[in-house]
């Protein structure tokens, strides 16, 4: 599989940024790159697939995929980057921001019915390298833990809404969500224990959860949802999740088949390696857009690379129709698991082999 060309060497961009910062003492543009580098520029000009950054003494051409956002440095009242920062704290003089492509923390658009849609769709659709993709989507992929197992999930709305599998959370309302954030001293794990189950569907194997943070103003990085109709057999994909409890693991493969019928439901068949713990996590295309929710795989002697994800269009329909799947707190799962009644001809109260297999299969 041929991966797209990587962005310019980060060391080069970092050195250029260091050269540029001391020379800025006036209003201009602030360019934020995916690796965290900030470049102060006199002006910025867009062109097809790239951005021209004028440093005053040199013009840089940077791929648009390498840029997180463009921000106005302020009104120019400050005499430097520090002064401009302080002077920009008010609502009138504060910096304005324009995000390139899909903004990892942007709120979704109005749903046209007086509410806000709890997901955002793809913006530019430009393929990126795996490194660039992980930098953009890594914080949006979370771990979902219950008293009996764990799975994965991903953030769809900056106020804390996330998607996972129904079988990851079924039988438990005591949930913990772990968000992995990049910090100056390395990776930081933030645990949230106030989790609200918004909607669930056993048939679709989907669940919509809501993190209730202590700080109501806290926002989360999100990922955009693609369109199942745009899938191409053979295109590159990658999955991020927590297989067997191994946090933030990455696997890649291709779309083996756009639509595979199994158990009355359609799935995206992929060769990306999935294991217990990947359940509920996202399957991405090379633009960093979610194309499916990892759900199951075939485990059999001689079977390799047979993994299945719920198509993203089904996920969008589930979120849009969340009221129909609303979690009933008056009839909530209590955490108890009940065996199916004995099949005719079975003279024992022991669960059938099929029931045992189903329980083991759905325990994550």
Among 167, 249, 251, 309, the one annotated catalytic: 167
Distance (Å) of CA 145 to CA 188, 190, 280: 17, 13, 11
Active site residue 185: no
Three-state SS string across 62-115, please? Answer: EEHHHEEEEEECCCCCCCCHHHHHHHCCCCCCCCCEEECCCCCCCCCCECCCCC
* Helix ranges, the chain (H): 10-20, 81-87, 130-137, 166-169, 312-320, 353-362
Question: In 10 A of CB 191, how many CB atoms?
Answer: 10
Answer yes or no: 167 catalytic. yes
Evaluate whether 52 touches 61 at the Cβ level (below 8 Å).
Answer: yes
Q: Active-site residue among 73, 205, 228, 251?
A: 205
Dihedral angle over CA of 156, 318, 173, 357, nearest 10 = -110
Catalytic residue among 152, 279, 307, 309: 279
- Region of 80 (left: φ > 0; alpha: ψ -120 to 50; beta: rest) is beta
d(C-alpha 210, C-alpha 319), whole Å: 12
CA distance 150 to 37: 35
- Please say if 205 is a catalytic residue: yes
Residue among 245, 287, 282, 249 at smallest CA distance from 127: 287
Residues catalogued as catalytic: 167, 205, 279
């Amino acid at each position: 599989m041929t991966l797209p060309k990587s962005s310019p060497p980060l060391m080069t961009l970092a050195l250029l940024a260091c050269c540029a910062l001391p020379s800025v003492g006036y209003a201009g543009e602030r360019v934020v790159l995916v690796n965290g580098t900030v470049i102060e520029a006199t002006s910025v000009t867009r062109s097809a697939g790239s951005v021209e950054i004028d440093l005053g003494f040199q013009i840089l051409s940077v791929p648009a995929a390498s840029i997180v956002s463009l921000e106005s440095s302020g009104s120019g009242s400050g005499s430097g980057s520090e002064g401009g920062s302080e002077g920009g704290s008010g609502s009138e003089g504060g910096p304005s921001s324009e995000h390139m492509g899909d903004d990892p923390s942007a709120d979704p658009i109005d749903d046209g019915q007086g509410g806000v849609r709890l997901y955002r769709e793809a913006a530019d659709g430009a393929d990126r390298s795996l490194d660039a993709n992980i930098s953009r989507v890594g914080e949006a992929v979370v771990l979902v833990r219950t008293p009996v197992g764990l799975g994965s999930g991903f953030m769809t709305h900056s106020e804390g809404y996330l998607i996972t599998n129904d079988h990851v959370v079924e039988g438990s309302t005591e949930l913990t969500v772990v968000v992995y954030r990049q910090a100056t001293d390395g990776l930081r794990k933030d645990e949230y224990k106030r989790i609200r189950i918004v909607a669930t569907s056993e048939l679709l194997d989907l669940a919509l959860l809501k993190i209730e943070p202590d700080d109501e103003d806290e926002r989360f990085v999100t990922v955009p949802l693609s369109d199942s109709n745009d899938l191409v057999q053979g295109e590159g994909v990658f999955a991020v999740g927590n297989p067997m409890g191994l946090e933030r693991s990455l696997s890649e493969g291709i779309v083996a088949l756009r639509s595979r019928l199994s158990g009355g439901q359609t799935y995206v068949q992929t060769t990306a390696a999935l294991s217990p713990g990947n359940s509920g996590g996202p399957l991405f295309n090379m633009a960093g857009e979610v194309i499916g929710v990892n759900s199951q795989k075939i485990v059999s002697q001689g079977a390799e690379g047979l993994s299945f994800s719920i198509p993203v269009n089904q996920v969008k329909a589930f979120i849009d129709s969340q009221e129909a799947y609303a979690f009933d707190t008056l009839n909530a799962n209590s955490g108890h698991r009940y065996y199916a009644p004995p099949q005719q001809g079975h003279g024992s109260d022991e669960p059938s082999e099929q029931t045992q297999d189903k329980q083991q299969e759905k325990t994550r």
